[in-house]
Amino acid sequence: MSTPIQIPDALTLSTDNLSIAVISPDEKRRNAAMSALSECQTGKIREFTFYPPDLDNVQRMLGHNFDVIIVDLDSNPTSALDLVEAVCTNDLATAIAYSAQADPELLLRCMRAGSREFLPMPFAPGAMAEALVRVSSLRSAVRPSKKTDGSLHIFLSAKGGAGVTTLACNFAVSLAQESKRRTLLIDLNLPLGDVAINLGIKAQYSIINALQDPSRLDSNFLSSLLVEHSSGLFVLAAPSELAATNVSEDAINKLLKVACNEFDYVVADAGSKLGLQHTYLFDESATIYLVTQIGIPELRNSNRLISMLSTGNRPKFEIVINRYDPRSREIDEEYITKALTKPAEWKIPNNYAAVRRMQNTATSLMQNDLEISRAIREMSRSVCGQPSIPKKKKGFSFFR
């Protein structure tokens, strides 16, 4: 008789109320799953000894009576994957698949069918409990009871090296914290975006998985690709290795529409991808943060981009001057405003040391009360309707 695994109270509370179905025609494999479940405290568990005879019977057989469906892939992979897809497509439950086959192709097919977790057999101690905790967390945080109409916020620059990723990452973290609402950050800075590195997260999947087959992309598939940051922010990362990035505008449009249907706030790091002007990024309902610096090349390129954004049914855009130093006199404010066609809405103070430390330690700027952090927090608070942060009073000093 196995010894029950002791699970911390927080994990127990996350899984106690789950209603679970285990589906496997094979008694040995079904018992293995039941044994793994018995090692952690869960709610109602029901066994099914057969796959539904046809997909029309899936909803009749399962209904909306379960939070989690655990499916054995090995008895009949085709039927099992069809079942997983039917469960996820109809939003009947969250699917977990398990198999004794260490086959990457099977894992990929399983993920595309919508399975949130894939557990190899034999089950490692605690693996089932950990999977259920993740599923429980995502069901409450990622899959709302009704669709939302989230707002889209794009960070874009007309020239590389403007600090777009740094601002997008910290803005998204701050937005998640200040709003207490579901927030997603998408790294569109292909082929090698740095969002994951900046936030210190490791992602098993990337945006490439989402864009490869847009016809399969829905809320369940998207949720299976995400990583949750310690701040509560969800992240869809760029690939960690150089990958083919010949993706269609339709695929990007589909991704962003699904994301906005599932999250209250969607932040996209678009880098300097000016070729995306025909995508949903440039929908009039979005907000673009045009990031620039005070330099002749940056201001010139920004002026040209602003001209494009100012024609037709374009989105609202706000100008962000990054690494701003009010003491610099090389280019005066009048010239800057003339080049940008209007005053900048946001000026982010220059703090090279803090940004470098963030990049080296993967620690958000939002963890520190710095002038640069307060400026970014002010941006996020304006989005979610929070009042402005009171300015700190300067103390008296003989030294000015």
Angle, helices 371-383 vs 352-361, to 10°: value is 80
Banded model confidence at residue 13, pLDDT cuts 50, 70, 90: very low
| 53-103: pLDDT as tens digits | 777 667 767 766 788 999 999 999 999 999 999 888 887 888 999 999 888
| 353-381: pLDDT as tens digits | 999 999 899 889 998 889 999 999 999 99
Side chain identity at residue 166, one-letter code: T
pLDDT of residue 276: 61
| 262-319: pLDDT as tens digits | 899 999 999 876 656 556 666 777 899 999 988 888 888 888 878 777 666 567 889 9
Residue 352 in tokens: 């090279």
SS3 60: helix
Q: pTM for the complete prediction?
A: 0.64
Residue 127 in tokens: 């693996």
Banded model confidence at residue 146, pLDDT cuts 50, 70, 90: very low
Among 26-30, 220-224, 284-288, 341-345, top mean pLDDT goes to: 26-30
> Rounded to an integer, what distance in angstroms lies between the CA atom of residue 158 and that of residue 293?
10
> Rounded to an integer, what distance in angstroms lies between the CA atom of residue 29 and that of residue 100?
9
**CATH 3.40.50.1110 corresponds to the domain 10-141:** no
Does the pLDDT at position 329 exceed 80? no
Q: Which CATH architecture has domain 151-383?
A: 3-Layer(aba) Sandwich (3.40)
**What share of the chain has pLDDT > 90, as a percent?**
38
Domain boundaries, the chain: 10-141, 151-383
Q: Do domains 10-141 and 151-383 have the same CATH topology?
A: yes
DSSP line for 316-362: EEEEEEEEE-TT--SS-HHHHHHHHSS--SEEEEP-HHHHHHHHHHT
Does the pLDDT at position 176 exceed 50? yes
